Amino acid sequence: MSGEQKVERTEQEWRQRLPEEVFRVARLGGTEPPFSGKYYHHDAPGSYQCACCGQSLFSSEHKYDSGTGWPSYFQPVDGAVVQERVDQSHGMVRTEVLCARCDAHLGHVFPDGPEPTGLRYCINSASLSFEPEE
């Protein structure tokens, strides 16, 4: 997070600032249907930011096709930009991934990814924005 200030807003403030689908996924912990997100088949070079606060989260260099239906990355740009917590919703135990700067729900991380980390950050497109490499 490199010393950036925590972004805190009320639910109403987030609702006013964000498109409905971004609010539903990122602020309410929702998910988008598999294979439907705008970044699933996206392969341009650049970086993926949090759709709520703009913090850089993932690099296109770490993106890969996991075949799961969601954009997948084997690591974030820095370990400090994401937080993890246990998610016991939907009758499962998973590890939820959140933006460390604004607590937006991004998706989940699983231990079945490629080397070098062995991790699969399965992230909702609705929780991301993209900045192309210059």
Per-residue pLDDT at 30: 94
53 counts as catalytic: no
Nearby residues of 91 by Cβ (< 8 Å), 6 or more positions away: none
Look at residues 104, 46, 132 and name the one whose alpha carbon lies nearest to residue 123: 104
Q: Is residue 72 part of a domain?
A: yes
Q: Is residue 76 part of a domain?
A: yes
Q: Is residue 114 part of a domain?
A: yes
Per-residue pLDDT at 3: 52
Read off the pTM.
0.93
Per-residue pLDDT at 91: 87
Q: Which domain holds residue 94?
A: 11-132
Which residue type, as a one-letter code, is found at position 92?
M
Nearby residues of 9 by Cβ (< 8 Å), 6 or more positions away: 17, 102
Q: Is residue 5 part of a domain?
A: no
| Count of structural domains, the chain | 1
Per-residue pLDDT at 90: 80
Nearby residues of 19 by Cβ (< 8 Å), 6 or more positions away: none
- CATH number at 15 reads 2.170.150.20
Per-residue pLDDT at 89: 83
The tokens of 38 are what? 């705008």
Share of the chain above pLDDT 90, in %: 90
> Which parts of the chain sit beneath pLDDT 70?
1-4
